[in-house]
Structure 1
Amino acid sequence: MSSGDSISTYDYLVIGGGSGGIASARRAAEFKVNMGCVPKKVMYNCSRHAELINDHADYGFDLTFNGFNWKKIKDSREAYIRRLNSIYESNLSNSGVDLIRGKASFTKDGIVVVGDKRYFGKHILIAVGGYPNKPSSIPGAEYGTDSDGFFHLDSLPKRTVVVGAGYIAVELSSMLALLGSDTHLLVKSVERRPDGLLTVNITNGVIDEVETLIWAIGRLPQTRSLNVNYVGVKTDKDGRIIVDKYQNTSAKNIYALGDCCGKALLTPVAIAAGRRLAHRLFNNEPENHLDYENIPSVVGLHLLGDGADEILQGFAVAIKMGATKKQFDDTVAIHPTSAEELVTMRGGVRPNKKG
Structure 2
Amino acid sequence: MAEHTFDYDLFVIGAGSGGVRASRVAASHGAKVAVAEEHRIGGTCVIRGCVPKKLLVYGSHFAEELQDAAHYGWHIDAMHFNWSHLRDTVLRDVDRLETAYTNTLDSHKVDHFHERATIAGPHAVRLASGREITAKVILVATGAWPVMPDIEGVEHAITSNEVFHLPELPKRVLIQGAGYIAMEFAGIFNALGCHVTVVNRSDQILRGYDDSLRDRLLQITMGRGIEYRLHCPIKRIEPQDGGGFIAHFEKHDPVEADVVLVATGRRPNTSGLGLENAGIECGPGGQICVDEYNRTSCESIYAVGDVTDRIQLTPVAIREGHAFADTVFGDNPRTVDYDCVPNAVFSQPPLAGVGLTEAQARAHYGNIKVYSSDFRPMKNIFAERHERGLYKMIVDEGSGKVLGVHMIGPESPEILQAAAVAVKAGLTKADFDATVALHPSMAEELVLMR
Give the TM bin, normalised by the shorter chain.
0.7 to 0.9
**Displacement of 1:3 after TM fit?**
11
Q: 1:171 to 1:207 in 2, by over 3 A?
A: farther
CA contact (8 A) 1:53 1:64 kept: no
- Determine the structure 2 residue equivalent to 1:71: 84
C-alpha distance in 2 between matches for 1:233 and 1:313: 36
> Could you tell me which residue of structure 1 aligns to residue 64 of structure 2?
51
Is 1:260 equivalent to 2:274 in the alignment? no
Q: Is 1:129 aligned to residue 143 of structure 2? A: yes
- The residue type paired with residue 314 of structure 1 is A
Evaluate the alpha carbon distance shift between residue 147 and residue 246 of structure 1 in structure 2; reply closer, same or farther with a 3 A threshold.
same
Residue 252 of structure 1 and its aligned partner are, at CA, apart by 0.7
Q: Unaligned stretches of 5+ in structure 2?
A: 34-41, 43-49, 200-232, 343-353, 356-410, 428-450
State the AA in 2 paired with 1:9: D
* Aligned sequence identity (%): 35
- Larger relative contact order (C-alpha < 8 A, sep ≥ 6)? 1
Distance in 2 (alpha carbons) for counterparts of 1:51 and 1:110: 54
Structure 1, residues 60-101: CA drift from partner, whole Å, max 9, x if none? 222367441111112211211111111111111112222222
Instruction: Give the total of aligned pairs.
Output: 306
Aligned to 1:150: 163
Q: Over aligned residues, Cα RMSD in angstroms?
A: 2.9
Query: How far did residue 154 of structure 1 move?
Result: 0.5
For the pair 1:168 / 2:193, whether they are aligned, the reply is no
227, 233, 246: which is aligned to 1:199? 246
Matches within 5 A, 1:284-303: 284-286=331-333, 288-296=334-342
How far apart in 1 are the matches of 2:420 and 2:294? 34
Q: Secondary structure at the match of 2:112?
A: coil
Give the Å deviation of 1:57. Answer: 2.3
Q: Which residue of 2 aligns with 1:210?
A: 257
Question: Residues 108 and 68 of structure 1: is their aligned pair in 2 closer, same or farther, counting only changes over 3 Å?
Answer: same
Q: CA deviation at 1:185?
A: 0.6
Q: Residues 1-355 of structure 1: matches in 2 within 5 Å?
A: 9-35=7-33, 36=42, 37-63=50-76, 66-108=79-121, 110-114=123-127, 115-136=129-150, 138-186=151-199, 187-189=233-235, 190-201=237-248, 205-206=252-253, 208-286=255-333, 288-296=334-342, 314=418
Q: Could you tell me the TM-score, scaled by structure 2's length?
A: 0.62
Gaps of 5+ in 1: 299-306, 324-355
User: Which stretch shows the higher mean deviation, 192-201 or 169-178?
Assistant: 192-201
Aligned mates of 1:316, 1:232 — CA distance in 2? 39
Q: Give per-residue Cα distances to partners, 1:183-217, cap 9 Å, x unaligned.
A: 11114333333333222345774353311000011
Which of 57-66 and 144-153 deviates more? 57-66
Superposition TM-score, scaled by structure 1 size: 0.78
Is the Cα contact below 8 Å between 1:135 and 1:141 reproduced in 2? yes
Aligned equivalents of 1:94, 1:229: Cα separation in 2? 34
* CA distance in structure 2 between the partners assigned to 1:313 and 1:146 by the alignment: 29
Does the C-alpha gap of structure 1 residues 293 and 246 become closer, same or farther in structure 2, counting only changes over 3 Å? same
The SS at the match of 1:105 is strand
Residues of 2 paired with 1:3 and 1:83: CA distance? 38
Tell me the amino acid that sits aligned with residue 331 of structure 2.
N
Q: How far off its partner does 1:249 sit? A: 0.6
SS state at 2:68 partner? helix
Aligned partners of 2:185 and 2:131: how far apart in 1?
40
Q: Which moved more, 1:141-150 or 1:169-178?
A: 141-150
